[in-house]
Structure 1
């Protein structure tokens, strides 16, 4: 919406994703309903005929064969790595990291990050994601291009003891990161947080500082933890504690903490995680490709742990299409417990409201309700992958990457219309991607 103050979006079905129970087996489906958007926010939801009569001067977008639902929230991503898509095969995480780090040392720069994030945003918008969480080097470039393209994101600035192309030591990471947090403090689209890559790559001193600052400036902490045995054993060798136990003692584990994967948890670590109020982000595609332990989603949800869904980077998960992760999440949960797999309704909630809760943005996004930001997507049901439409919930999840996203709004601004980007020059984005491909091959 660019030239009108009020827009009515009517559809055959509306999925508000308003359920409070993360393990619900059903979601509300409203038939022949509409959403009224004024500037950035939803101001009304109701039967289409009633709202059209109430707002006779509003513009009207009629989507007669479509499903309206909240935009997806990709709760973990390293977006700039979209430019590294296809460079590696599925392989164990340690080998994959060594290969990627070699490439990063040679090529990673501010321009690389900017162009990679633009490519990732194009892919995410076209597949229905309206908010993403990012944790990668050159977060200043990531935040800048994201805001300029009108996308919503939570940008986590890295903290490490190891030198990189962006910072030489932990003090420089903190200094640059806090500057970014201050710069985007009033942004309508960008929030920020701390992004220590993983527990074993950050010192106790730095973690204590992160915990103190996160509380002081009210920012989340986003990190990988308990992905594979080597990581846990390394922590025990260095610190005498498993990663979650160590971070709990350092004051890092709290409701602000966003733990990526948490796939290998013994009873003690699981209890600490549950009691801390931390959220867990499930990235099933990346887990399979990197042969790491995937999140025990149903088990954690039953214990009250909030969960979001992520793709991880396109370099390890091969895609930023979050719809592709929904079916994987359900299938992996069935492998863990065929009697009690994750329901399709619960998976959809993880990809929307669960992700928003993980990022601390659930008062603004993640569901369709009056007063929230108008982050909305439309799915065209007139396609073979969704026909015959016998169960909206199951078929949205099972369609995976084939879910045909036709329209996307971020903060009330139309970003995709009839499957095409509205105000992003896709040809220019792809031209830069092709240029980087040639550089990487040289």
Structure 2
């Protein structure tokens, strides 16, 4: 009998990398790594664990990968609703950011977001915002996994004076955090309309030299396309290709405005697409052709975008919206079926972030980034197919347990690394400050 750290027994285990649903199985974890996946009866005879859990009405599955968000913006949730993107940005969000964003805002907002994400079963997120060092600090503090974007813009903000300064600071952070186990970094040029050719060319070179992904809003709205044609005489995607940015290192966010030729270009270059359906719907930005992209062999992941435009970081809800929207947009009820939707919210996200070799699915040798969802609730009974119940019926309140690298961050719906009351107090304090305009 082998000694290990943790043995988790469950009614179902859903590995996600294939189409299996394993009944009455266990996951054996040692030193943060999945060392075995086997029937529970066999596991009891094979392993002596320091901690044994029995989750008799639960499904175990890989944690959700939120492939695009702006975590500090949780402090602006509900601040400017029911507006189109450019009015929302220019007249509300950017002025508020100029007035209130600082290191404390980014730390406290990220902590609020991470609290929400862990509670909803997210074990990894891909972020883009100012003061990325503060978001990295929260990742280390809470034990979640993340890719932190090193933002680049043409104009000065509270975090930098211009493109060269942003890149200088970003490279310093790359050196500082490159050996952190739960942290990866990406270049994060904001969008084609906010970053000019010279810094984008430099980012393309650095990305290739350092093997660092590029995380960018792209083809988000019709107005973006029109503006690019007027200013550059080409569509944004073609411009990015000409600059050498379309590759397996590119994580393209939104992609609601695509021709068939552009879908072929995305597929040919290995560019990843992150679909943010609820934010796109709320801002009336457009609809990502998920079914066409998937059929073309493009890796499509799911993100929530920030809570200021969603207004939550609920990956279960986002996954359900993505699945339903894919059917409505394509006119095909078989588009993005439940298992594919679940993969888009887990393994495909890990693949987009270049992390699929160690997370995103339940496989021997991968990090134990695992969540448990209780399917005994009335909303998910009777349970004919646990994958369908998770995608189409389950709510994030049914997530009971969360592990990242074998460390339990949520145990029986209680946080182990976060003081929930303190997080709530900081959010209340920021609300008072922002709403008063001081």
User: What band does the TM-score fall into relative to the shorter chain?
Assistant: over 0.9
The aligned counterpart of 2:95 is: 102
Residues 1:149 and 2:139 aligned together:
no
How far is the alpha carbon of 1:338 from its aligned partner? Answer: 2.5
Work out the CA distance in 2 between the residues paired with 1:81 and 1:228: 21
The aligned counterpart of 1:91 is: 83
Give the 5 Å matches for 1:28-67.
Answer: 28-67=20-59
Give the 5 Å matches for 1:42-441.
Answer: 42-98=34-90, 99-339=92-332, 340-402=334-396, 404-441=398-435
How far is the alpha carbon of 1:269 from its aligned partner? Answer: 2.2
**Structure 2: any 5+ residue segments left out of the alignment?**
none
Work out the CA distance in 2 between the residues paired with 1:57 and 1:188: 24
Identify the range of structure 1 (371-380 vs 137-146) with the bigger mean alpha-carbon deviation. 137-146
Work out the CA distance in 2 between the residues paired with 1:171 and 1:329: 37
The aligned counterpart of 1:6 is: 5
Q: Is the contact between residue 39 and residue 412 of structure 1 (CA under 8 Å) also seen in structure 2?
A: yes
Work out the CA distance in 2 between the residues paired with 1:149 and 1:436: 21
1:301 aligned counterpart, secondary structure? helix
Work out the CA distance in 2 between the residues paired with 1:267 and 1:382: 44
The structure-2 alpha-carbon separation of the partners of 1:5 and 1:115, relative to structure 1 and needing over 3 Å to count, comes to farther
Q: Is the contact between residue 69 and residue 126 of structure 2 (CA under 8 Å) also seen in structure 1?
A: yes
Q: Is the contact between residue 323 and residue 403 of structure 1 (CA under 8 Å) also seen in structure 2?
A: no
Q: Is the contact between residue 10 and residue 58 of structure 2 (CA under 8 Å) also seen in structure 1?
A: yes
How far is the alpha carbon of 1:90 from its aligned partner? Answer: 2.3
Q: Is the contact between residue 327 and residue 400 of structure 1 (CA under 8 Å) also seen in structure 2?
A: no
1:6 aligned counterpart, secondary structure? strand
The structure-2 alpha-carbon separation of the partners of 1:312 and 1:400, relative to structure 1 and needing over 3 Å to count, comes to farther
Q: Is the contact between residue 379 and residue 394 of structure 2 (CA under 8 Å) also seen in structure 1?
A: no
The structure-2 alpha-carbon separation of the partners of 1:433 and 1:403, relative to structure 1 and needing over 3 Å to count, comes to closer
Q: Is the contact between residue 75 and residue 359 of structure 1 (CA under 8 Å) also seen in structure 2?
A: yes
The structure-2 alpha-carbon separation of the partners of 1:429 and 1:385, relative to structure 1 and needing over 3 Å to count, comes to same
The aligned counterpart of 1:23 is: none
How far is the alpha carbon of 1:417 from its aligned partner? Answer: 0.7
**Structure 1: any 5+ residue segments left out of the alignment?**
20-26
Work out the CA distance in 1 between the residues paired with 2:34 and 2:147: 21
CA RMSD of aligned residues (A): 1.2
TM score, norm. by length of structure 1: 0.96
2:314 aligned counterpart, secondary structure? coil
Work out the CA distance in 2 between the residues paired with 1:159 and 1:241: 22
How far is the alpha carbon of 1:58 from its aligned partner? Answer: 3.8
Work out the CA distance in 2 between the residues paired with 1:317 and 1:53: 47
Identify the range of structure 1 (348-357 vs 53-62) with the bigger mean alpha-carbon deviation. 53-62
Q: Is the contact between residue 225 and residue 260 of structure 1 (CA under 8 Å) also seen in structure 2?
A: yes
1:200 aligned counterpart, secondary structure? coil
TM score, norm. by length of structure 2: 0.97
The aligned counterpart of 1:22 is: none
Work out the CA distance in 1 between the residues paired with 2:250 and 2:7: 38
Q: Is the contact between residue 119 and residue 396 of structure 2 (CA under 8 Å) also seen in structure 1?
A: no
* Aligned structure 1 segments of 4 or more residues deviating by more than 3 angstroms: 400-403
